[in-house]
Structure 1
Amino acid sequence: MARKPAWLEGLMAETFFASCGVHEGWSHKNEKNVFCLTCCVSLCPHCVPFHQSHPLLQVRRYMYQDVVLLSDLENFIDCSYIKPYTLNGAKVIYLNQRAQTSAVSSNVCRHCYKVIQEPFHFCSLSCKVDHLISQYADLSSIILYRLDDDDDGNSERKGSRRKGVPHRAPFY
């Protein structure tokens, strides 16, 4: 696999915390902060019930950047060697490159060269993914969640496919 799966590409490219276009007129709680891995779209809390049978990731804000709980993200992708941060007592991972800090250290991110603590190699999920693609052109060793062999985001999931709405005979 020489490219990112659709769900991973979508997760890292998505703009979160914008108003939901479908629920724009609703007074509150219409910010898109959940990502559906099956549909590759961001959702507001009002959209989530329509995707509850799909795998979802909640995105949070930390230091003005998008983060995901490490415990949630590691169900879908190997997060080893990515620097975690603590947010309200939970470990989180930055989705995209983090802002440069003024700290001095001999250890830097292997992709963007921003300063990070030992023994970590990457400052964010995108840095790890982009580094592996540029060095090895392969992500198969870290991807734990696959929709399908072609990863187009629109195909049915292998193994446990749902039939959808049951079609029953009319009552006479």
Structure 2
Amino acid sequence: MLTPPWLEPMLKTKFFTHCAEHREMPRNECNMFCADCFEHSSAFCIYCRTQKHSDHRVIQIRRSSYHEVVRVKEVEHLIDIKGVHTYVINSADVFFLNERPQPRGVGAAAGKAAASPFFCEVCSRSLLNDFRFCSIGCKLARIKSNGDTTFVLQERDGSSESSRVEGENTGKLTDDFGECRDGSSAPNDTKSASLRMRTRRRKGIPHRSPLSS
């Protein structure tokens, strides 16, 4: 099986509605999904998790720019997300659940998109790094149409870990939202040169203007 049975139902679930069972409680948004009992439940809130899913594999859904995202660390033990573009938001690696509307028209956004050589293989959305998909929804669509990739976790060891993520660079970039990091650092010689420029003294000795008699 290339896809876990709970993944597609999660992508179709509507999140961030108010929980009917905990209507009077604060923070009762339904932003969680259970990978163990997805056939009998939909999105649920934090109180439902405590009461019904305390020992289950629960995934918390978050939002960025009105679109659902999931933190990589919450699902990396459940599915392989290689090829899916990741972003850094609030110091956490995340990815989008579903395809987002494409930027249209002319202007800075369209020009920026046209300048990128990387595109999602399914929806053709412009990417800022050489990944294959803009979301796990697009990766799922590719699996259903071509079957040339998978969500199944492979056996990992020290020798294969470096090649686990296909098309992934060390830098994780974002396009129109959130915090942007590229994970890079300046070489030591560049830093040293910059430091020398900041600490260099002015040439010559300043002279006082002669006093008029």
Q: Provide TM-score, normalisation by structure 1.
A: 0.75
Does the Cα contact within 8 Å between 2:4 and 2:151 map onto a contact in 1?
Answer: no
Which of residues 54, 57, 72 is equivalent to 1:55? 57
**Per-residue CA distance 1:115-147 (angstroms, 9 max, x = gap):** 1123111000110111121012x77x4234xxx
Pair 1:18-2:51 in alignment: no
Q: Which consecutive residues of structure 1, in runs of 5 or more, have no partner in the other structure?
A: 145-172
**Which residue is 2:92 aligned to?**
90
Distance 1:5-1:100 versus aligned 2 partners, 3 A rule: same
Bigger shift: residues 92-101 or 7-16: 92-101
Aligned to 1:42: 43
1:52-91 CA-to-partner distances (Å, cap 9, x unmatched) read 1110111100111000001112111111111111110101
Name the SS of the counterpart of 2:88 in structure 1: strand
RMSD: 1.7
Q: Which has the higher contact order (CA 8 A, sep 6+)?
A: 1
1:37-61 per-position Cα deviation (integer Å, ceiling 9, x unaligned): 1111211011011201110111100
Structure 2 partner of 1:119: 130
Gaps of 5+ in 2: 104-108, 154-213
In the alignment, which residue of structure 1 is the partner of 2:152? 143
1:107 match: 118
- Output the TM-score relative to the length of structure 2: 0.61
Please tell me the residue identity of whatever aligns with 1:130. A
Letter aligned with residue 78 of structure 1: D
Alpha-carbon distance in structure 2 between the residues aligned to 1:71 and 1:126: 18
Normalized per residue, which structure has more helix?
2
- Among the aligned pairs, what percent are the same residue? 35
3-state SS of the aligned residue for 2:61?
A: strand
Find the aligned partners of 2:20 and 2:6 in 1 and give their Cα distance: 21
Q: Quote how far apart the aligned CAs of 1:99 are.
A: 3.2
Q: For 2:73, which of 71, 74, 84 is the aligned residue?
A: 71
1:81 corresponding residue in structure 2: 83
- Write the distance in 2 (CA, Å) between the matches of 1:54 and 1:86: 27
Q: Aligned pair in 2 of structure 1 residues 133, 90: CA closer, same or farther (>3 Å)?
A: same
Q: 2: CA distance between counterparts of 1:88 and 1:118?
A: 20
Distance in 2 of aligned mates of 1:127 and 1:67 = 14
